[in-house]
Structure 1
Amino acid sequence: MTTVERTWPPLNEYLRDIARESLADAGEDAISDAVARMIAHPEYPCLGARSVFRRDAARIVVLDSMADPDAVAQLAVHLEAFSNANRDPEDFVSFIAVFREPVTPTEKDFEARLWQVLQQLHDEDTHPWADGVAADPEAPQFAFSHAGRAYFIVGLHPRASRIARRAPLPTLVFNLHEQFEKLRAEGGFDRMRTAIRRRDTKVQGSVNPMAADHGEASEARQYSGRRVETTWQAPFSPKEIGDDRSG
């Protein structure tokens, strides 16, 4: 029996079609499926995300509004539970928070919402800042911390200028920092990073100007996916928790 190979539309068209599915009012399973379909496209640049979904290692939580403090409080509970369940993951895992609204009109609006969410998560967090990373969002060693674990945040939304940062609904991906450090120690980080950036450039037609390694520049500049100005500063105010804020 002959197997017919699936023909995929270009990634930007594929993501546009998913975004037209009126998912804001859909059930949680339908929203989770839309995220999985997005990642499944063969052109999707992030190889880490593709690996996570192939292994069913993504924890997806659907919440109401990014602007709703109650939804962010629910996010905090789910994120800490994810952290507790993945104390020493053998391979990549991801926590993905999908919000039904708002679909912001501009990248700057989404960026503002993203940092409001992170600020509330931080303000209500009673744990010390994660070891090994800085709390100062201007520091090259900065990483977001929640419940004592460091995360690299990937913001996605329908209005993103970078195709790889488009998603049908506002989405925040929390990737454990220690996963990247483990991959670096095993010698695979540079290879994966190079492959992802090559794939992203092929999809977009240009190099991502915000791409940088941890320690070169604050990763806060990358969280929203927007090309931020050289004078940009993260709208984030870390508070004193514990004895050591610098990691």
Structure 2
Amino acid sequence: MSGAMSAPVTPRAPRDWKRRAEELFTDRLLDERSPFPCVFGVDALRRGTLRFAFVDDTADPPSETPGDGIEPAARGTALALADYAARAPSIGHRTSLVVVYRGALGPHPGAGRDAVKAYRDRFWALLQRVHRLDAHPWPDGIPHDPESPTWEFCFAGTPMFVVVNTPAHERRRSRGFPYFCITFQPRFVFEGLEGSSSQGRNARRIIRGRLDDYDDVPPAPVLGDYGTAGNREWTQYFLEEEEGAAVPPRCPFSVRAPRAPGAQRAGEG
């Protein structure tokens, strides 16, 4: 499957680290001895509708300084997302994009609480930069305020649930992985699986049961159902490692103002 820096998502990664990352991700999703909690991701892999993209970068500063250049990790992610969003409806109802990073966002900060926080800060800074590269306006049906229960990250007009995995997550194994990676699941994947539906309740029961078995800590209390009162999607993107760890008081992400004519877009410059 593709390198996300300059090409569309394709069936095979040409370099060893990409092939290895894809194999590791595939093996964990298909491990029958320890069933992976996200049944949607497992289903997408079995159906052949899971897609990978890869970003290899060693010079992506974590700063979000107004006016600075567009870093390769953000540009590679935006290119992969733009290509994927255009293709996703035709790929299948159960589909996700897994973006895997090597060297991006600075050196591996190790393990422990500080390392988890470092990855969290890097993730939100990266997501904000990716948003700056989006050539499309924010969808009319999605609130701008992340505190709204119907808010979701959007790119190319497509609402997407976001899942982050890092090498620093050890006890919360469902959010751990040898490479930093971000999975983007289009909101349409969950159509018909709302919390009010019998199928949705059954899927959540299975996922929560698998989380109990898979992780060494209880399921995060921030997990909720999209659109229900009190739900905040952004708190579920990056889960803390330790039980009872506090989440940021407010979402670090903000929806940008409408783009001025001639402003830089993904793939330009």
Q: TM-score, normalised by structure 2?
A: 0.74
Q: Corresponding residue for 2:239?
A: 225
**Alignment partner of 1:117 is 2:122:** no
Runs of 4+ deviating beyond 3 Å: 182-187
Alpha-carbon deviation of 1:210? 2.1
Which residue identity does 1:84 align to in structure 2?
A: A
Which residue identity does 1:224 align to in structure 2?
A: F
State the alpha-carbon separation in 2 of the partners of residues 100 and 52 from structure 1: 24
Higher relative contact order (CA 8 A, sep 6+): 1
Match of 1:239 among 256, 265, 268: 256
User: How many equivalent pairs are there?
Assistant: 218
**Alignment partner of 1:191 is 2:202:** yes
**Alignment partner of 1:171 is 2:181:** yes
Alpha-carbon deviation of 1:72? 1.6
Q: Which moved more, 1:180-189 or 1:193-202?
A: 180-189
**What SS class does the counterpart of residue 173 from structure 1 fall into?**
strand
Alignment of 1:56-205 (within 5 A): 56-65=48-57, 68=60, 69-87=71-89, 90-101=92-103, 102-105=107-110, 106-160=115-169, 161-184=171-194, 187-204=198-215
**What SS class does the counterpart of residue 229 from structure 1 fall into?**
coil
Match of 1:47 among 25, 33, 39: 39
Percent identity between the aligned chains? 26
**What SS class does the counterpart of residue 89 from structure 2 fall into?**
coil
Alpha-carbon deviation of 1:235? 1.3
- In structure 2, the CA distance between the partners of 1:131 and 1:33, relative to structure 1 (3 Å rule), is farther
- In structure 2, the CA distance between the partners of 1:86 and 1:186, relative to structure 1 (3 Å rule), is farther
State the alpha-carbon separation in 2 of the partners of residues 230 and 211 from structure 1: 12
Q: Which moved more, 1:207-216 or 1:170-179?
A: 207-216
* Aligned partners of 1:139 and 1:218 also within 8 Å: yes
Alpha-carbon deviation of 1:188? 2.0
Question: For the aligned residues, what is the CA RMSD?
Answer: 2.3
Alpha-carbon deviation of 1:131? 4.2
Which residue identity does 2:98 align to in structure 1?
A: I
- Ranges in structure 2 where 5+ consecutive residues have no aligned partner: 1-14, 61-70, 260-269
Which residue identity does 2:21 align to in structure 1?
A: I
* Aligned partners of 2:49 and 2:91 also within 8 Å: no
Q: Which moved more, 1:152-161 or 1:229-238?
A: 229-238
Q: Which moved more, 1:129-138 or 1:46-55?
A: 129-138
Q: Which moved more, 1:129-138 or 1:184-193?
A: 184-193
State the alpha-carbon separation in 1 of the partners of residues 140 and 100 from structure 2: 27
Q: TM-score, normalised by structure 1?
A: 0.80
* Aligned partners of 1:39 and 1:49 also within 8 Å: yes
State the alpha-carbon separation in 1 of the partners of residues 95 and 255 from structure 2: 26
Alpha-carbon deviation of 1:125? 1.2
* Aligned partners of 1:136 and 1:142 also within 8 Å: yes
* Aligned partners of 2:119 and 2:166 also within 8 Å: yes
Q: Corresponding residue for 1:31?
A: 21
Alpha-carbon deviation of 1:40? 1.6
Which residue identity does 2:109 align to in structure 1?
A: T
